[in-house]
Amino acid sequence: PQGMHHSTLDLNSQIVCQAQRATDDKPNIVLIMADDLGIGDLGCYGNDTIRTPNIDRLAAEGVKLSQHISAASLCTPSRTAFLTGRYPIRSGMVSDENTRVIHSLSVPAGLPLNETTFAAVAKKQGYSTALIGKWHQGLNSRYRSDHNHHPYNYGFDYFYGMPFSLFTPCWPDPSRDTELAISCRLWICVQLLAVTALTLTFGKLSCWFRVPWFVILLMILFTFLLCCVWYYSYTSGLYWDCILMREEEITEQPMKAERAGSIMMKEAVSFLERHREEPFLLFYSFLHVHVPCPTMENFIGTSKHGLYGDNVQEMDFFVGKLLDAIDNLGLRNHTVIYFTSDHGGQLESRLGHVQLGGWNGIYKGGKGMGGWEGGIHVPGLLRWPGKLPAGKVIEEPTSLMDIFPTVAALTGGTVPQDRVIDGQNLMPLLQGAVQHSEHEFLFHYCGVYLHAARWNPKDSKYTMWKVHYVTPVFQPPGAQACYETKLCECSGEGVRYHDPPLLFDLSRDPSESTPLTGDTEPLYELVIKTVADAVQAHRKTIIPVQLQLGKELNEDRVWLKPCCGVFPFCLYSP
């Protein structure tokens, strides 16, 4: 019969499509990024007191990069470089001020629309793309719902997560439940008072009511004061920046931070299920382990390192959930998985006298420090069963910027030819086709200021030079971080300028504890000159653009505040 004939054709077509998918050279890609995670927080990088078995499994089953470097030591510029494969100074996602990240959702700053992300490259090759988790690349630019800097505009088909970033007001707030319960009803009360005042005014003018004018004026004044007092209470970033969105709709304002991780994992698994039969790219951008480290109750007290350690172990649990979902859907052998952190852990973050930031292992410094290794040395793990060797360790310098050209290579796409791409395709190095990194030089910025540079000589496998031109002044004296300012500065009195510059051989001194001199290192002059020439050549490739994180664009505009209701009554918490 004709119906049976069509059914047989449909079944045969489905089998053929599945067979083609199984042998297709284009793998699925899952990119996992932690927030503020110290490289020393993971078992596979030497930690034996925090349990991270699922992340450690990625290292055992794949390739571990031991010299993986972030392009910046703060969230916004580092993620810009990760997304675009370019130093953030090229796109203007840097600052010459102390504020070096997008500091709220009320600013017009954001990733310029002419920048190309790895999601856009993958989408052009037929991939379904999603970002689940933290964005922190801007949202609105002209009015509160234009979503000019929404992930949609950068190649992501689907978005669920936090357009901003976790910060202290997001969790915990003991008074929030009572405050929300009152505030959700306050808009109705204000409306009733306003309608009553207008009705009385109209009735008075029409001689319908004999109500004294002072009563009406008192009611109007009371309504106005109620609005002002209510709005003033919402100056906290909790209400305007701690929000969750699904696609372009605000789903929680403010968000319940402790449950956000579990919701985002459900969204990720749902995305995998929906797109299991087609190539996909998932960027899973954790809110973990940024302060204030919101953690589910069943993980509180499970580690030896307080709330921070609990949060790391909760993150590892979610990584395990994601890996299990990939395996259960039969996608294991056809999926490239990458895990990293956007930069090093923050040493200055404390809860009382307890450390609330990450541990950067043997490396000096941390988050916010443009040059010291602790701020930019991050984990890098890649797994692709059957394609990448299990248990391999690569000690060549690699960068977060390398993911952009690597994604292009994996998806069959090409990188833009009209701009400088600073990243390198990692696949030849990962698969052993080459033994030496394509990065001879890497440059380390603090905002717009170049603080340091490293040289990996092509003719030497065992030497890695690092030159520091500027280093932060730690406070108080004798400390190893900037505890008084909470974050190290990039210029001015908060830094020390070195002439001649400091020189370290990271292969012999990874902790950067003992600077070399002309007396202790015969190649001192050669190295200083070679790196200086490379810095000069690099600077010639930088085209001046508007600074997105400068004072002009990184200041609050009330009309840009996101709102899920009638502004300023913007509360919704399911």
pLDDT at 441 over 50: yes
CA distances from 553 to 89, 184, 487 (A): 15, 32, 21
Domain spanning 25-167+244-437+546-559, CATH class: alpha beta
Mean pLDDT, the chain, integer:
90
Q: Give the tens place of pLDDT for each residue, 87-110.
A: 999 999 999 998 999 999 999 999
pLDDT for position 284: 98
Instruction: Report CA-CA distances (Å) from 541 to 48, 93, 270, 449, 537.
Output: 44, 16, 43, 15, 7
- For residue 52, pLDDT beyond 60: yes
* Residue 393, SS3 per DSSP: strand
What confidence tens digit (pLDDT) does each residue in 17-41 have? 443 444 457 999 999 999 999 999 9
Q: Which token pair is 42?
A: 């993971």
The predicted pLDDT at position 22 comes to 42
- pLDDT tens per residue across span 470-496: 999 999 999 999 999 999 999 999 999
Confidence (pTM): 0.90
Catalytic residue list: 75, 136
The domains of the chain are located at 25-167+244-437+546-559, 175-237
DSSP state of 490: S
Strand partners of residue 29:
281, 336
Report how far residue 442's alpha carbon sits from residue 37's, in angstroms, rounded to the nearest whole number.
Answer: 22
Determine the longest span between alpha carbons in the chain, in angstroms. Answer: 100
3-class SS of residue 299: helix
Distance CA(294)–CA(256), nearest Å, equals: 9
Read off the pLDDT of each residue in 520-525 and give the average, rounded to a whole number.
96
Cβ contact 352:84 at 8 Å = no
Q: What Å distances lie between residue 135 and 130, 202, 285, 338, CA to CA?
A: 12, 50, 8, 18
Per-residue pLDDT tens over the stretch 231-250: 665 667 888 899 999 999 99
282 pairs with which residues across the strands? 30, 130
